[in-house]
Structure formats: structure tokens, C-alpha cells
A and B are shown apart, each in its own frame.
Chain A
């Protein structure tokens, strides 16, 4: 059975007095925790900046804050607070962003966290983790809390669609399949759709190496480089802007290691996505498994 994020957080907090659960009045993921945690549940109201500052103050006193808000507001509204109050002093803080990327479905551009990875990863000391499902997040949580570093996490409250062979660890990617024709690098929601795409491509006789990169910072450089090295063409697939996300991460790594490879990004180029229900977002933006497979085989043929 898949453990719920909230259940795991409750169990950890019950055992560990250092853990304080915070929110800027967004309790969707933690609605049952107030009665259990008492004063260790802090809702600051709709004050994301203050939530992060308060988290830093709590961390100064030895607490391990786990803070929740919508992914856009926690990363954008509170950006400078994360940078100054958690990043500069390297204080512990797990920042959980709700409805990241395509999950904001019909909310519109104000709610589209498609720049969160770019923003968070540029802050020294701040780590970035994008699990694919509820189980992976729940499994990662004790690691994120125990590590004691500031970390931003995308929360994907969906059931798993693939099994992982390894426990979550910082700087470790999960190789879901191996192959040489097509390489796929992705994280979060897109790893789920990419799984379907990989199956379709294999059905067409192509060999596919799919790597789920939950730990975007620190990065599993070896897994990425191996993909670039052995695959004819590699796709980065992300519900994120083209700038600053996984494609940028891969491009930076290639430049740093003086590595040439054919890489095709599937991302949002200089625009927000069409606001509609999630299944329709995936359809119109070309990010369903079927659409991704189509786009990849077309691009692969062109190379």
C-alpha cells in the first residue's frame, strides 16, 4: 500500500520533536495534522514571506520546519526570504510546493509553477527534488528532513505508476529502463507520462533508456552523462520553462564536461501553458504518453 505523505509526515513528527509543520493557509496536504501536532503546527495565514522567515527563526532554535504553500507562492512570493534566510545561512527547511507545473491545471498563469526549478536551483545551498508520486515523496521525506539543508520539493499527490529499485537518495537518479536509441530524462509528473511514451516507443522496436531525475540538485551526473553517451538522441521532458530547468541543467553539464550529444527539449518555451483541466493540458501541450511518443519518434527520425 502506498503511504500517504501526510501519514509519513505525522509519523516522523510524532517521533521527532524537532519537526514543525508550517503552512501559509494551504492545508490541502496536511489537513489532519493540527490536532496531532498542537503547537508544532504553525499556520501563519496567507503570508508566504513570513512563513519562510519564521521557518528560519525556528531552525535557528534547532527545529526542522516543513513548510507548505502552493508551488508558485512559496517559490516566487517568498523567493528572497528563501535566498536570504534559509539559503545564506544554509538552515534546514523542507519547502513543499503544491500543484506544481501542469498540476495547476485550470488556474491560469499566476498559479503555474513552471519556473520553480530554475529559481530554486540558483540559490546556493538550496536543493531541488521532484518526486514522481506520493510514495516517492513520502519515502524521500525522512532523508530531506534529516539532511538538514534547505530543499524545495514538488508535491505530486498521485499514486505511483512505476516501481523504483532504489530508495530515494540525494544525487541519485532512477534508471527505469535501459536502451540506446532514445534517452529520456525527466522528473515529477512528466516521468509518469514518459513511462507510457517509452512503452509505445519500445512497441515500435526502439530501445529506450528512461531516467527519472527526482534529485535535480544535487544531480546524478553519471546517470545523465551515461544517457547522453549511449543514446542516439536524448529528450529532456519537463512541465517547466525551457530556461533554467532540466534542459538547462543537462546543457550546463555538457558544457562543463565538454560533452557533445543530441539533446531535444520538451518544455515550455517563453510562454505559460493553456489553462484547462489536467488531462486536457497534457493533451493540448503534447505531454500525454501518446503525444510524447509521437513527438519523440518524429524527432528521432529527423536526426
Chain B
């Protein structure tokens, strides 16, 4: 492990870790910006998975017995970059290269970053890629698991539902799909545009074992990720209830704070807000796709 590894033994450690990850995300939301809202909604989940769940470390990145993590909603990648930097997969300083032509840290993930298994960006792809990996692990009698984070808006894509069908058909009990249920598509609430509820019942009807969890509560996550599969012989879906922009009250659950390129002074204000000081006054425009 490299020098920048942080402790992860206690829930307090995890809270400290995810706070650092959020700081990284905020810093990546200037100089070009990033998809800050969704990155913050899944920051606790991603940090928890890498720190506690995945049988993976910087020294086992090519071990066929490792657990696999796929980020299907690729625009959340700042949460992954921040986690990888804190857990010693990449140097923290490398995050300063965000969006630079000399590095590979752009708005969606790619395999050149240690700890990233596969690129994504176009939604609805990595459930099927995860199924391929899970099938091969089963063919070889491996015990490792495959975790894939999907967005709730991403569940509009037909290929996601193909994947739900196929994973069930092949009884992939080594596959865990985590839906970051922050209740937003890009700029509109899922239930106002293309309703997903009752999402748990839909997944259960597709044959999956389903668990619900507060995606910001590490104690609850410990319970949710314990003793998988949730249903014997079946893939597991963990629906994680999250808040878009979590940690920054000034942007939490706001439709317009999706992709933002903040001014440098706003970054300082947001970092203070993250640490419980007064809310930042934000004037930067946001990217609205509708």
C-alpha cells in the first residue's frame, strides 16, 4: 500500500474517508467542472465498497480472484477518483490532472486509471459487461463477486432490463447491482418523467434478491452488503436511497445542480459548507439539458 492510504476500520474512519472523497469531488467541480450532484450521491457507496466490501487492493488489480467493481453510471467517476486517491490506488496529487490532456482523468472512467476495470459513459452498458465477468467467474468455479453501480435514471435504458432478465436466467448469485436511487434523471425527477417505482417489486418480479438501504448510512450498508446473495441462486440488487448533492445543502436534491463548473471562490465556500459552515452563495450557471 502506498503512503496515502487512510484507515477504514471504524465507521468514523469511513465518515472521514467519504468526507475526503467529497472534498476531492468539490475540487474537481471547477476548471471545467464535473457531474457533482451524482458524484456526491454515490460517494458514500463507492467509498464503502472500495474500503469494506471489495476483495481488491492496489496490489491485486490483475488478480483473477479479485472482486470486480464497475461504474455503469460513468459520470459519477469523481467519486471513484477520490476514493482511489484516498485508498492508495493513485497518488492524491494525480487528481490535480483532472481534465488535463496529459492524463486520463476525464468526465467518464477508463481503464488507464488503476482501480478502474472498464470505461463507461454511455448508459446501460456495464450491467451486461458485469454479467460476462460473472459468468466467467462461475464457469471457472471462482468465489469472487462482481459489483456494478447503476443510476436510477440509467434504468430507463432497455439494455438494463435485458441485463436484469439475463442475469436471472443464468442464476448469477455472484453479481450485485447497486442502484444509486437519488431520484433524479439529468434535470428531472425520475418519478415525474419516467416513474420507476415500485422499483424493488420490479426487480423482485425479475427474479432478483432485493435489499433497500440508506446509501449514506455505513451501519445500514454493513447490513445490506452482508450475507449475499440476498436470495439463494439469484443475483442481488441493492437499491440505495441517496440524495443528489449529498453533503452540500446548497445543492442537495436540486434539479439544476447536475453538472457544474464552479468559480474558484465558490469551491472554497463549498468546502467550508461541507464542513458545516454557512451555505455557499452560488452564482455559477449549471448545465441544463432540458
Q: With contacts A47-B166, A50-B159 known, is A56 near B119, CB below 8 A?
A: no
Q: Is A39 part of the binding interface, using a Cβ–Cβ cutoff of 8 Å?
A: yes
CB distance from A16 to the nearest CB of B (A): 14
A265 CA to B122 CA, complexed, in Å: 37
Most interface-central of A50, A59, A61 (chain B CB within 10 A): A50
CB distance from B206 to the nearest CB of A (A): 13
A84 CA to B128 CA, complexed, in Å: 12
A171 CA to B159 CA, complexed, in Å: 35
A52 CA to B132 CA, complexed, in Å: 9
CB distance from A68 to the nearest CB of B (A): 16
Residues of A within 8 A of B121 (CB): 84
Are the C-beta atoms of A57 and B135 separated by less than 8 Å?
yes
Q: With contacts A53-B129, A61-B137 known, is A89 near B111, CB below 8 A?
A: yes
A93 CA to B132 CA, complexed, in Å: 13
Q: With contacts A45-B165, A58-B135 known, is A53 near B126, CB below 8 A?
A: yes
Please tell me the size bucket of the interface on A. 20 to 34
Residues of A within 8 A of B170 (CB): 42
Q: Is A54 part of the binding interface, using a Cβ–Cβ cutoff of 8 Å?
A: yes
CB within 8 Å of B: which of A22-62?
Answer: 39-40, 42, 44-45, 47, 49-62
A80 CA to B128 CA, complexed, in Å: 13
Are the C-beta atoms of B119 and A57 separated by less than 8 Å?
no
CB within 8 Å of B: which of A115-153?
Answer: none
Are the C-beta atoms of A47 and B162 separated by less than 8 Å?
yes
Q: Is A154 part of the binding interface, using a Cβ–Cβ cutoff of 8 Å?
A: no
A50 CA to B126 CA, complexed, in Å: 9
A96 CA to B127 CA, complexed, in Å: 23
Q: Is B130 part of the binding interface, using a Cβ–Cβ cutoff of 8 Å?
A: yes
Q: With contacts A49-B159, A49-B162, A50-B163 known, is A55 near B132, CB below 8 A?
A: yes
Chain B's closest residue to A56 (CB) is B129
Given contacts A45-B165, A61-B132, A84-B122, 13 further A-B contacts (CB under 8 A): A47-B162, A47-B165, A47-B166, A50-B163, A53-B125, A53-B163, A58-B132, A58-B133, A60-B118, A80-B122, A81-B128, A85-B129, A89-B119
Q: Give the top 6 A-B pairs by smallest Cβ distance, nearest first.
A: A57-B132, A53-B128, A61-B136, A54-B132, A47-B162, A57-B133
Residues of B in contact with A (beta carbons under 8 Å apart): 64, 111, 117-119, 121-122, 124-139, 158-159, 162-163, 165-166, 169-170
Residues of A in contact with B (beta carbons under 8 Å apart): 39-40, 42, 44-45, 47, 49-63, 80-81, 84-85, 88-89
